[in-house]
Amino acid sequence: MYCTDADKQMAINIFLGVYQPGEGIPDIWDLTTDYYLHHTMARVLPSSYAMPNHTKWWQSELIDHLPLPLYRGEQFFFAFNSI
Confidence (pTM): 0.43
- Domain for residue 34, yes or no? yes
Q: Is the pLDDT of residue 83 over 60?
A: no
Q: Which helix (H) or strand (E) holds 79?
A: helix 70-81
- Domain for residue 61, yes or no? no
- Domain for residue 73, yes or no? no
* pLDDT for the residue numbered 76: 59
Q: 7 or 44: which carries more pLDDT confidence? A: 7
Residue numbers of the domain that contains 21: 5-42
Q: What is the pLDDT of residues 49-65, one digit of tens each?
A: 666 677 877 788 887 88
- Domain for residue 17, yes or no? yes
- Domain for residue 20, yes or no? yes
Q: What is the pLDDT of residues 8-65, one digit of tens each?
A: 888 888 888 888 888 888 888 887 888 877 777 766 666 666 666 778 777 888 878 8
State mean pLDDT over 76-82: 60
- Domain for residue 25, yes or no? yes
- Domain for residue 27, yes or no? yes
- Domain for residue 22, yes or no? yes
Q: How many domains does the chain have?
A: 1
3-state per-residue secondary structure call for 22-55? CCCCCCHHHCCCCHHHHCHHHCCCCCCCCCCCCC
